[in-house]
Structure 1
Amino acid sequence: MKPSSLIGALIAWLFVAAAAPVAAATITVHDIAGRDVTLEAPVKRILLGEGRQLVALALLHPHPASLLVAWSADMRRQDERLYDLYRAKFPLLDRVPFISRGSPDTFSVEQALAAAPDVAILSGGYGPSRRSDDVVHKLEAAGIPVVFIDFVEDPLTNTVPSMRILGRLLGEEARAEQFIAFYQSHMDRITTRLAAAKPAPPNVLMHAHAGHMECCNSPGRVTIGAFIDIAGGHNIAVDVLKQPAGRPSLDETMARGQLSLEYVMARDPDVYVGTGGLHLQALGGLVLGPGVDPATSREDLAKVVSKPGLDGLRAVRTGRVHGIWHLFNNVPFNFLAVEVMAKWFHPDLFKDVDPDESLRELNSRFLPVPLVGTFWISLDPKPAERGR
């Protein structure tokens, strides 16, 4: 063969090799339920048991909608604005069928099987959980591997391994490790400084879904309440709400989280933190989230703490009243909630920490659909209380 012909053949081979799809390899992942799951990766057809985990996929894959063959409607039902933003960015989402309205009891195994996914990624936040033995058995009996991740029940323990699992499933290990390093650096900044300074933790009332029901629903040390301790506060709910044996589901946790107004008034917390979201817009509660104006959230927050009983709390009298997006409980970038609360609890210790800048970096480096709106808010201290 002439040298020119040999070079041409080599170039042609390189083009073919570059264009060829990446061959699937058999891998074994250890999921957050403690199960070893063997499957072929990278996966191309995904069933999402919790729709909001689309955000986690989007952190790692440039076209997450192209991977979905079925998902839950919880994002559409509880955060329609975020859902619309992802639909606008990824129009393919309109072609992906919903197989659940966003709860374990509405999950259709028949529709899941008809979608023929390569893997079912379940988390238990708003869909089948690790306690859904019947669903898991039926999927696995049909040859569909089931992998559990979690950003809800135990976010401090499970966020990093969940992202690492997704990286392996998608063949995006390097991207996953980049995000994990970013995430861990922000968490370490808070925990290292608190460990060195050892400041006294303020007593904190976390009022979940603020303004929706009578005072006060509070999550204890699970779900979004898990971020209080690591941010240097003491959650007054943990003194009376004991976590059930084992790992409770989201519904079980929230059902056991009611504090009486009398208890809250007696504890007279130093800091009030209400959680809110777009799901409270029609319910008269604290509205936070994508596209929300800060003035709207601040007005909502002021209304919540003006109610009898709350209005006389030390936190309200001294202006330490704050609101935070409840969906930080469902996403891998929950470090933002930790940064924000650390500044609220220990403003002098963390005066150089800028959660707004952290959010900008998250948007520019990792999120294909930037978070733009109001995700945390504070009331200004009353004039007589300024400077205290």
Structure 2
Amino acid sequence: MTSPTITRRGFLAATCATLCAPPLLKAETRWPLTVTDAIGRMVTITKKPKSIILGTGFNLFALSLIHPDPVSLLAGWATDMKTDNPFIYDAFRKKFPALDKVPLVSNGQADGMSFEAALSLEADLAVMGRWQAEGEQGKRAIDYLASIGVPVIVVDFNLDPLKSTPRDIRLLGRVLECDQQAESYAQFFERRVERIRVRAVGKGGDGPLVLMDAFPSATRGSWAVGRTGLGELITLAGGRNIADKNLPPQGGTVTAEYIIAAEPDVYIATGSPGGTYTVFSIGPGVDPAEALQSLQETVKAPSLAPLKAVREGNVHGMWNFFNAVPLNVLAAEAVASWVRPDLFGDVDPASSLAEINERFAAVPFEGAYWTSLTS
């Protein structure tokens, strides 16, 4: 995919800066501002945030969709995005060299925040993921930050993505006074999800059986994604998830015997760049040929090769960290086109990604984010 030119990027940054200013026909945000976050907490923020701690580095993606210089907002952040997806970190660093100097306060895990580091930053807001905040360590971090005068808002692009992604983009837009850009992205997301939902509901009947296999490995059992998170995308498209009934909402490990007995019609693997966790390499900076070749290698595993989906070529793969960022709408479109090609043959996530890069992204998202053996 061709990246926007520097001239276009400059124009878009200026446009985004305008959108992050209070519109002329709208009253300016009144501070202090009280908002409701992703876990129902009422949070009061005393002034417009200019110094933000990110509990997970992946939330830089969200900021970059609504603010032209998201790095300028950071007081501290976590290492997880840099560790798991170094190419996109480098892309942000090249556009915003100041990222190299942003202090690290967490490894991105629920128990990974350094309270001492947070204390030294003089931040005026922290943003945490729901998956971090709902654990005991996350609650301790929220309480500690509150005790030193740093309000915390929790966002969710992971557990309940179809409902919470547009809601929490709007929340961030309100807090950062980037309402127009946030509203535009939320509507962009909602239109695409609703198109899938309406068609799937209209078709009715039983859709194909689907296995979504997180970080597949030939040396251990498969982790079948459950009905929450990325599993919501299977249901949205009218598919039937083989993990729906017998596993926890988030999914769980399943044996080769379980998978073969379930006989999925569609197989979807998830992975990360460079095969960080398994042989399957996909995501930011990955060449499409590498993604395809590594998916081919993945389904040669003895537990996967006998599957109907593999024999018939209904094999697909996508970036696992769609489960952490508002780009998950691209995953929704890809999954829909794989699960029900009869309904969604005209749905094109590549076109949607190009529009995101042109209209929203402070840093363009490049690489192979999904692939298919039929591609």
Q: Which residue of 1 aligns with 2:17?
A: none
In the TM superposition, residue 210 of structure 1 has moved relative to its aligned partner by: 2.1
Name the structure, 1 or 2, with higher relative contact order (CA <8 Å, separation 6+).
Answer: 2
Alignment of 1:75-224 (within 5 A): 75-125=81-131, 127-129=132-134, 131=136, 132-211=138-217, 213-224=219-230
Alignment of 1:362-373 (within 5 A): 362-373=356-367
Q: Quick one: distance in 2 between partners of 1:279 and 1:47?
A: 28
Could you tell me whether the CA contact under 8 Å between 1:209 and 1:217 is conserved in 2? yes
Could you tell me whether the CA contact under 8 Å between 2:145 and 2:152 is conserved in 1? yes
Could you tell me whether the CA contact under 8 Å between 2:162 and 2:193 is conserved in 1? no
Q: Which residue of 1 aligns with 2:269?
A: 274
| TM-score between both structures, scaled by the size of structure 2 | 0.88
Work out whether 1:240 is the aligned partner of 2:235. Answer: no
In the TM superposition, residue 35 of structure 1 has moved relative to its aligned partner by: 0.8
Q: Which residue of 2 aligns with 1:385?
A: none
| TM-score between both structures, scaled by the size of structure 1 | 0.86
Could you tell me whether the CA contact under 8 Å between 1:49 and 1:71 is conserved in 2? yes
In the TM superposition, residue 174 of structure 1 has moved relative to its aligned partner by: 1.2
- The CA deviation string for residues 146-193 of structure 1, in whole angstroms up to 9 with x for no partner, is 111111122122111211110111011111111111111111111111
Alignment partner of 1:324 out of 290, 315, 318:
318
Alignment partner of 2:57 out of 51, 68, 75:
51
Q: Quick one: distance in 1 between partners of 2:207 and 2:95?
A: 42
Q: Quick one: distance in 2 between partners of 1:228 and 1:260?
A: 21
In the TM superposition, residue 200 of structure 1 has moved relative to its aligned partner by: 2.7
Aligned-partner SS, 1:258? strand
Alignment of 1:368-379 (within 5 A): 368-379=362-373
Alignment partner of 1:263 out of 229, 233, 258:
258
Q: Quick one: distance in 2 between partners of 1:229 and 1:105?
A: 32
Q: Bigger radius of gyration, 1 or 2? A: 1
Alignment partner of 2:335 out of 331, 335, 341:
341
The AA in structure 1 aligned to 2:311 is R
In the TM superposition, residue 27 of structure 1 has moved relative to its aligned partner by: 0.8
Alignment partner of 2:351 out of 335, 357, 360:
357
Q: Quick one: distance in 1 between partners of 2:374 and 2:166?
A: 35
Q: Quick one: distance in 2 between partners of 1:367 and 1:280?
A: 25
Aligned-partner SS, 1:205? strand
Q: Please, which moves more after superposition, 208-217 or 272-281?
A: 208-217
Q: Which residue of 1 aligns with 2:9?
A: none
The AA in structure 2 aligned to 1:229 is T
The AA in structure 2 aligned to 1:257 is G
Aligned-pair identity in percent equals 41
Q: Quick one: distance in 1 between partners of 2:57 and 2:115?
A: 16
Alignment partner of 2:44 out of 34, 38, 62:
38
In the TM superposition, residue 320 of structure 1 has moved relative to its aligned partner by: 0.2
Q: Quick one: distance in 2 between partners of 1:85 and 1:230?
A: 32
Could you tell me whether the CA contact under 8 Å between 2:274 and 2:286 is conserved in 1? no
Unaligned runs of 5+ in 1: 1-17, 244-252, 382-388
Q: Quick one: distance in 2 between partners of 1:233 and 1:154?
A: 18
Aligned length: 348
The AA in structure 1 aligned to 2:332 is V
In the TM superposition, residue 141 of structure 1 has moved relative to its aligned partner by: 1.4
